[in-house]
Structure 1
Amino acid sequence: MTERPADRARGERVVRRALRALRHLRVLRVFRVLRDDLWTTAAEPPPHTARPRWLDWLPAIAVVVVVLAGLLLAGSANEYAFDYHMGTRPGLLLAALQSAALVAALFRPVPAWWGATLVMPVVAWYARGEADVDALYPWTGTGLTAQAGVLFLLALRVRPRITLETLLISAATGLGCGLLQAGRPGGHFAVTVLAVAALAGAALRGRQVARTELAAQQELTAEERTRRTVLQERTRIARELHDVVAHHMSVVSIQAQVAPHLVDRPSPELTENLAGIRANAVDALAELRRVLGLLRAEDTAGGAPDDGTRHAPQPGLDLLDELLGKVRGTGLAVTAVTTGERRPLPPGVELSAYRIVQESLSNVLRHAPGARARVELGYHPSGLTVRVRNTRPEGAVPAAGAPGSRTASGAGSRTGSRTASPPGSRTASPPDTGHGLLGMRERTAMLGGELATGPTPDGGWEVTAVLPTTPPAEDAT
């Protein structure tokens, strides 16, 4: 079947209409973007840095800009009035508008740019046939300085796309005014100056945006590192406590197995109950061993070093003297004081107390060279108080993070801060990573106790943990 010429022509007309409509939509989209970008008074706040820099000295910059605007006002008015033959009043009015735009760019950069840019067609209209089209036309030297200042301040506070749009419109306005005046574009040098000003402002803004994003990323990284450290400490604590619980379940199982043989002719009910106790203990022990295997497998997969203690019995306060002896062997002077009636405590309390003393003394060795340490154990009816205090370091203190914080962890979840230290003193500080403090805080919170860390008045450091012997009460649900 042959296509008729009329149908072919009709199809071509439809295609042409569709293409025109598509181009029309694209043009509308461009104008819509320009309207959203340039028909607004909104702008980002001036760039801010953590340390005082010239960008933060906004009041001083405002004074400088106002003074500069006053100087430009006088120069532009003179050039417009005599070089462009516009007369005194029109020249003064246009110069005042340009100078006001420079000041307004500190607060509303986009409207200020509009005001400075609209001066150019007015200048070209007034000066038509009277002024020479040169490298600056339609700007004067002072007018170009004001326009460049407006573009620079605008580029500091808007997106790069808006900066590019304003630069192109400014350049097109200047070149177009020269084309209408003498049939050839002028303002070549002026366009270069405007481009440099816009590029400088955009570069400073981009640098500050990059620094802000980097700081935010570093903060997120630090938070993630802290979260992972807390999880690692909790895993370690859980592994240690599972060891303790598994030991007790093993004892229960053995005692339930032996108990029937300690009674002459035990009743069937007693034998059955003891067998049930042993069966439940064996099942619980199997589950605990499965959890322990999982925790240790996670440690191995995570690259945790095997220091020989992974499968060792968990220490208690009966091994504290041995720990203090090892610390004294490193050259640290340590004294130990015990108050109250010494008695056996729950394994979890003794394990946490041992680890808190161990970590505190490790911190003294790392961060307070030449100091003396004192370990105090205070037994009281409701629990145990552990206090490790060291004197002011006599050697050079290694670089560390900010002084630690006083934190109370437990049921009340009370938190405060104590970071003041005597001026000029060499105050011992905790590890910069805070891993040791996190571990102590987690152990104390697990028992429902309180932990306080912070500098002492004499320039030393003190760690105090209150560990209750009764488990924290469960919240009512």
Structure 2
Amino acid sequence: MGRMNGVREQLIRVLRMLRDDLWTARAAPLPPSVWLRWLPHGMVCLTAFGSAVSNVDHLADRYQFSAQAAMLCSVLQGLAVVLALWRPVPAWWASTVVSVVTALIARDHLLDDPHSGDPSWPWAPPGLIAHGIVLLLLSLRLPTRVSAEALGLTALLTYAVQGVIGGANYGPSGKVAVALFTVVVLLGTALRGRREARHQLVEQTGITVEERARRTLLEERNRIARELHDVVAHHMSVISIQAQVAPLLVEKPSVELKENLEGIRKNALEALTELRRVLCVLRSENPEDPYGLGAAGTGNAPEGPQPTLDRLDALIDNTRAAGLEVVAEVRGEASAYPPGLQLSAYRIVQEALSNALRHAPGSRVRVRVTHDLRGLYLEVTNSRPEGPLSSSPGAGHGLLGMRERAVMLGGHVAAHPTLPGGFTVSAFLPADGASHPAAEDGFPPGLAPISGPTAGEARGVRIPDMPMPRPGTGSTAGPSTGSSAGRQQEKRPHDE
């Protein structure tokens, strides 16, 4: 009984193996062949061999050539076709000379044989095909001028042999040959022009992409520069005012002190004047702000102050008014950040919200701001878009501008899609301006992430769709960065 069970199990294994091997539709394609790129060369060589063989038979039977002469002329004609793959002009000369010599030798035989059956002359069908292939290869490789010259000289030699020298007892093939050669040259020229146009288009596209990337980088750096000019101008104004007020704070200031302070004030005013002139050149009148999120330089106050973290609540309100459901959360206690850091943080959040508006309509967005002793951490995460995607009106600055701002301050930016179909942007801006190494999740070592998807995705764990807290149910840890940032969670989008 045990032996029967063993045989049965063996039979079952064999049947299962046959089923797995033969009852399947899985793909098993052949690997790409390196010989396919030599296929055109092989076809030309095969055509040259065929024309040489048929030409031997035609020259021996119709033109009454000897076996040696027929073989020699046919082999030379076939070699001319093969040579055209690498040296089209010498190949054309070789084919033309062989064709003319063959026609002149055949003329003597046709004159002596009135019963030859009127074969095609001066172009025999195999020679006509071989010479046509040579002209095709020449027109595919060389400029149109060279192809036209070769065609014209071929037509002139055909007329000289058939019309001027002439013959007897033959069927004229000159007109058919010239017409065929003309079609072949036109076809080769058209294909060559198409190939060159495609190559130029690819090169121009590559140049355009590089120039666009370079222009985008320069535009973003220009934008950052003019915003930093605003910050510097503010400090220069403060220096000027302090230098003007300082003598009044001393009971009896000396003349040297007054002169030094007056010199500081004048230098500050001159620097401020130069900065304003630079700002008039750098600032555009109407920079693109398609979603009304408050880009710098808009409105009637081009010299107004640049935004800081205190205006994040207004930025989020504008985003909600544009149609996104936004939840804000602030953790930690805000430090006295430098103006440049606050401006960069505001712009990073602004650009992340603009990207969510462009590329994730109808999604839910979570904005988290974490204050740490080392610096400021920002995270903007949107869920899967619910509405149809529309073309983006942006100029392509996006992530490039975020990274430029973060690197300028010694920080870094991480951006990646989430498994449920959303997108997250995280940035760390150090308070001291020192460069901190970034981990895979975008956090500096020792600063734990405040959201879970990044670490889980790095390990390949399936993460459910981002549970977005409903406005009014969330909580904040620590004071707000602005006057009303802590109240953002109490507002619903439809109440805006």
Asked whether the two chains share a fold, i.e. TM above 0.5, the reply is yes
Question: Contact (CA 8 Å) 1:77, 1:95: kept in 2 or not?
Answer: yes
Alignment gaps of 5+ in structure 1: 1-55, 401-430
Aligned amino acid, residue 128 of structure 2: L
Relative to structure 2, which stretch is displaced further, 461-470 or 136-145? Answer: 461-470
Query: What does residue 319 of structure 1 align with?
Result: 311
SS state at 2:251 partner = coil
Say yes or no: does 1:462 pair with 2:424.
yes
- 2:409 aligned to which of 443, 447, 459: 447
Structure 2 distance, partners of 1:119, 1:395, is 72
Relative to structure 2, which stretch is displaced further, 129-138 or 251-260? Answer: 129-138
**Residues 384-413 of structure 1: per-residue CA shift (max 9 Å, x gap):** 33332323333333467xxxxxxxxxxxxx
Structure 1 distance, partners of 2:356, 2:55, is 70
Q: How many residues align?
A: 385
Query: What does residue 354 of structure 1 align with?
Result: 346
**Residues 420-459 of structure 1: per-residue CA shift (max 9 Å, x gap):** xxxxxxxxxxx78523334334333433443343434443
Structure 1 distance, partners of 2:242, 2:328, is 37
Relative to structure 2, which stretch is displaced further, 182-191 or 447-456? Answer: 182-191
Structure 1 distance, partners of 2:245, 2:174, is 105
Structure-2 change in CA distance of 1:439 and 1:104 (3 Å): same
Structure-2 change in CA distance of 1:460 and 1:105 (3 Å): farther
Structure-2 change in CA distance of 1:391 and 1:163 (3 Å): same
Structure-2 change in CA distance of 1:238 and 1:277 (3 Å): same
- 2:198 aligned to which of 211, 214, 232: 211
Alignment gaps of 5+ in structure 2: 1-34, 290-296, 436-496
Structure 1 distance, partners of 2:123, 2:413, is 70
SS state at 1:375 partner = strand
1:135-214 to 2 correspondences below 5 Å? 137-178=121-162, 179-182=164-167, 187-214=174-201
Question: Contact (CA 8 Å) 2:62, 2:119: kept in 1 or not?
Answer: no
Structure 2 distance, partners of 1:319, 1:110, is 74
1:63-142 to 2 correspondences below 5 Å? 63-131=42-110, 137-142=121-126
Structure 1 distance, partners of 2:282, 2:407, is 21
Structure 2 distance, partners of 1:319, 1:255, is 27
Structure 2 distance, partners of 1:136, 1:173, is 16
Structure 1 distance, partners of 2:105, 2:159, is 17
Question: Contact (CA 8 Å) 1:135, 1:187: kept in 2 or not?
Answer: no
Instruction: Give the TM-score taking structure 1 as reference length.
Output: 0.71
Structure-2 change in CA distance of 1:57 and 1:336 (3 Å): farther
Structure 1 distance, partners of 2:131, 2:253, is 105
Aligned amino acid, residue 246 of structure 1: A
1:22-421 to 2 correspondences below 5 Å? 58-131=37-110, 137-178=121-162, 179-182=164-167, 187-296=174-283, 299-300=284-285, 307-308=298-299, 310-398=302-390
SS state at 1:334 partner = strand
Aligned amino acid, residue 406 of structure 2: T
Question: Contact (CA 8 Å) 1:175, 1:186: kept in 2 or not?
Answer: no
Instruction: Give the TM-score taking structure 2 as reference length.
Output: 0.68
Question: Contact (CA 8 Å) 1:135, 1:188: kept in 2 or not?
Answer: no
SS state at 1:335 partner = strand
Structure 2 distance, partners of 1:445, 1:390, is 24
Question: Contact (CA 8 Å) 1:253, 1:282: kept in 2 or not?
Answer: yes
SS state at 2:298 partner = coil
Structure 2 distance, partners of 1:392, 1:135, is 78
Structure 1 distance, partners of 2:119, 2:208, is 53
**Residues 307-336 of structure 1: per-residue CA shift (max 9 Å, x gap):** 316333210111112211221222322233
Structure 1 distance, partners of 2:222, 2:326, is 30
SS state at 1:260 partner = helix
Relative to structure 2, which stretch is displaced further, 381-390 or 138-147? Answer: 381-390
